[in-house]
Amino acid sequence: VDSLILEVVGLDPKVYLPKIYDGLCELVRERLELGKMRKVVQKVKITRDIEKLKKSVAEKILPDGLRKFPESFLPDNLKSSDFKEIQIPAEPLKLGHQMMIFYEVITDSGFKYNASGEEEARYLVFAQKPSQYIVKIPKNQAVVQKVVIEYEKYLKKLLE
């Protein structure tokens, strides 16, 4: 049928028919790709909008950013001599079991530290930061307890 139409118009079907078919196939491919591209652009836009929304909400709720533990919770009058240093591994610390009067701070690879109380153990877990192998902890257990309690209240308030 296509050949007859081309002959009636005065064109050679052997020359023009393949060109017409190739052109039609290209148009169909472009049309199909256009739909896919629109979906991709829409997904990217939604992702960007979500990130903008997250940033905006965070700025409104926490205009000064998150408070850092323990720095933001320690009393200002502490001197460096009021701290003891505890060496810790790079892997994540977690609370272990209570052993008599001690609380274990452990890692999956076998590190174990016997903290002098639950608050000291929690302090160590909270204070651990990437690429930091020493945690400075106040020698005064009352200060440690106050800092940990204040930090936990802060976290609960953030979750409300």
Q: Are 128 and 122 in contact (CB under 8 A)?
A: no
Whole-angstrom CA distances from 30 to 17, 19, 25, 34 are 20, 16, 9, 6
Neighbouring CB atoms inside 10 A of 137's CB total 23
Looking at the chain, the number of H-run helices and the number of E-run strands are 4, 5
Measured distance CA(130)–CA(134) in Å, rounded: 11
Quote the tokens at residue 147.
């800092």
Closest CA to 89 of 63, 120, 113: 113
> pLDDT by residue for the chain (160 residues), tens digit each?
788 888 888 899 899 899 999 999 999 988 888 877 777 766 766 667 777 877 787 777 777 778 899 999 999 999 999 999 999 999 999 999 998 889 999 999 999 999 999 999 999 999 999 989 999 999 999 999 999 999 999 989 888 7
- To the question of pTM greater than 0.75 for the whole model, the response is no
**Rounded distance between C-alpha atoms, residue 143 and residue 22, angstroms:** 80
Please provide the DSSP assignment of 43-112 as one string.
Answer: HHHHHHHHHHHHHHHHHHH-TT-PPPTTGGGS-TT--GGGEEEEE--SSPPEEEEEETTEEEEE-TTS-E
